[in-house]
Amino acid sequence: MGPMASVRTVVRALHRWPSFVVGFVALAVGLSGSILTFREEIEHALYEPRIEPGSRTATLAEALAKAGAVDPLRRVSVIVLPDRPERPLQFILQKRGALSLKEADQWTVYASPYDGKVLSWRSRETSGIARLRDLHFALFGGVTGLVVNGWMALVLALIALSGVVLWFQTATRGRRFRITRTGSWKRTVWDLHRVGGIVFALLLATAALSGAYYSFRETFTRLLASATGPLAPRATPTVEGPAGASALDADAIAGAARAVMPDLRLAVLRPPSQPNQAWAATFHRPGDQGESTDSGPTAFLNPYTGAVLRLDDRRTMSPGGRILKTMEPLHYGKLFGLPGRLVWFFVGLTPGLLFVSGLLMWWNRTRGLRPRRAAAPILALALPVAGQTASGGSARAASLVRPDGT
């Protein structure tokens, strides 16, 4: 076996055997990720009440007070502003002092932007989307599941990259992107696996590595800081209020926020959890989406004066900060609007399709070897007997031969 054949054997082993380990997990995580790519649209269709535009507009402070009264033991952590007249305000309530998303047990309260009246509310953590999110990020296993999923994502990235190497090693000139549609179905499956793998390999590796970021966020941040230099703080800033000063209400904060980036749509407000904490105001450019502070530029505002304490915008941040703020839009395909999310939907389906086609290829390749492997012990026993019979026959034949050879 030459050196190139040895390298090919090693790469094929790196591609094949880890696939058996992570295949079913990658199928489930990829499929749930495809669905979560359109989480906002699904939730709007399933849960969001439609409203008729009214003659007046309620103040944010008025609607905020009514939403908060749904459960006084919870605090309003997010305000999602409607982007169309027929859409309601959304207030996300969570338990006070929660240390994790699961502990927060979030509710979504829908309110009319015209009179502030609460229209309906639901538990976010008991919805089907929440279960899919738990599967996608933590395999229903909490912190341990999150770490295991991160390692699985790294292995999936290795499988994708080894597949690229195999494609270059085995692709025939003129047939590199050709799929056989006639003849043996086995050849068609092989072509689909080979072409589908190379088309989506780099995107699949990108999705896997950006997913692993959520499992090893602190480690990734330290490595990024060592590579790009000190990173700007990502935590919500705090400020000491003037003596005797009262905090601004939600409407004053919204007005101050819109003045920061008047050309963009103010999409999300995050009230402070402590009196000295800043408000976070996230803006959406065309194509931006979601409730996260990484969904678009985010301004952090002084709760007493409305002054900007910090502005996180990918276009103006340092290289390290830009990478961190890009991870969430990158993982969900939000960087390029609807076309990017459509591509990411199919990327999520890729692990399952490649796993199934890979299993078929392995089965077809080894099916013919199994009878021979099963017959090997029988042949091993039969050969000595055959040898003895042959030698005995030769001896008897020799005894019948005359001394002169006739």
CATH number, domain containing residue 80: 3.10.450
Number of C-beta neighbours around residue 140 at 10 A? 9
Residues 192 and 78 in one domain: no
Helix 185-215 vs helix 319-331: crossing angle, to nearest 10: 130
Percent of the chain's residues with pLDDT above 70 = 89
Considering only residues 8 and 148, tell me which one the structure prediction assigns the higher pLDDT.
Answer: 148
Residue 392 has pLDDT above 80, yes or no: no
Check pLDDT > 70 for residue 390: no
Phi, psi (5° rounding) for residue 102? -70, -40
Instruction: Give the pLDDT confidence score for residue 377 in this predicted structure.
Output: 52
The answer as to whether 157 is a domain residue is yes
Q: What is the mean pLDDT of residues 175-200?
A: 87
Which pLDDT does position 179 carry in this prediction? Answer: 86
Buried b (16+ CB within 10 A) or exposed e, 209-237: bbbbbbbbeeebbeebeeeeeebeeeebe
For residues 71 and 188, membership in a common domain is answered with no
Please report the pLDDT score of residue 130 as a whole number: 93
228 vs 74: CA distance, rounded Å? 40
- Which pLDDT band holds residue 369 (cuts at 50, 70, 90)? low
**Number of domains into which the chain is organized:** 2
- Supply the pLDDT for residue 397: 35
Kindly state whether residue 404 falls inside one of the protein's structural domains.
no
Categorize the per-residue pLDDT at 223 as very low, low, confident or very high, splitting at 50, 70 and 90.
very high
User: Under a CB-based contact definition with an 8 Å cutoff, are residues 298 and 325 in contact?
Assistant: no
- Residue 1 has what pLDDT? 57
How far apart (Å, rounded) are the C-alpha atoms in residues 119 and 239? 35
pLDDT of residue 215: 96
Write the CB contacts of 314 (distance below 8 Å, at least 6 apart in sequence).
297, 322, 325, 326
Q: What is the mean pLDDT of residues 296-306?
A: 96
Does pLDDT of 398 surpass 70?
no
pLDDT of residue 402: 31
Q: Are 151 and 125 contained in the same domain?
A: no
Q: Is the separation of the CB atoms in 68 and 75 below 8 Å?
A: yes
Q: Could you tell me if 120 and 16 are in contact, meaning their C-beta atoms sit under 8 angstroms apart?
A: no
Claim to verify: residue 58 and residue 173 sit in the same structural domain: no
For the stretch 321-356, pLDDT in tens is: 999 999 999 999 998 889 999 999 999 999 999 999
Nearest to 166 by CA among 200, 198, 202, 190: 198
Residue 387's pLDDT is: 46
Pair (168, 110) in one structural domain: no
Q: What is the mean pLDDT of the chain?
A: 87
pLDDT tens digit string along 109-147? 999 999 999 999 999 988 999 999 999 999 999 999 999
- pLDDT range class, residue 3, cuts 50, 70, 90: low
116 and 163 share one domain: no
- Residue 321 forms part of a structural domain: no
Q: Are 88 and 126 within one domain?
A: yes
pLDDT in tens, 47-78: 999 888 887 889 999 999 999 999 999 999 99
Same domain? For 151 and 104 the reply is: no
Q: Determine, yes or no, domain membership for 185.
A: yes
Query: Of residues 250 and 337, which shows the higher confidence score?
Result: 250
More confident residue, 243 or 65: 65
Q: Is a pLDDT exceeding 50 seen at residue 393?
A: no
Give pLDDT, residue 388.
46
Contact 130, 121 (CB under 8 A): no
The answer as to whether 354 is a domain residue is yes
pLDDT at 187 exceeding the cut of 70: yes
What range does the domain containing 16 cover?
A: 3-38+138-203+340-362
Give the model's confidence band at 400: pLDDT under 50 very low, under 70 low, under 90 confident, else very high.
Answer: very low
pLDDT band at 171; cut points 50, 70, 90: confident
Taking the model in full, what pTM does it have? Answer: 0.84
pLDDT of residue 405: 32
Please choose, from the candidates 344, 339, 313, 337, the residue with its C-alpha nearest in 3D space to the C-alpha of residue 326.
313
pLDDT of residue 279: 98
Same domain as 143, residue 29: yes
Asked if pLDDT for residue 199 goes beyond 80, the answer is yes
pLDDT at 399: 35
Is residue 81 over pLDDT 90?
yes
Residue 277 lies in a domain: no
Residue 234 placed within a domain: no
Does 292 map to a domain? no
Rounded Cα–Cα distance for residues 107 and 291 (Å): 14
> Within this chain, do residues 67 and 197 fall inside the same structural domain, yes or no?
no
Is a pLDDT exceeding 60 seen at residue 383?
no
In this prediction, residue 7 carries a pLDDT of: 82
- Using the predicted structure, report yes or no on whether residue 153 has a pLDDT greater than 50: yes
Residue for token digits 């003037």? 242
Residue 168 confidence (pLDDT): 87
pLDDT for the residue 356 = 93
Residues 12 and 57 in one domain: no
Q: What is the pLDDT of residue 389?
A: 42
Encoded tokens for 148: 């295991």
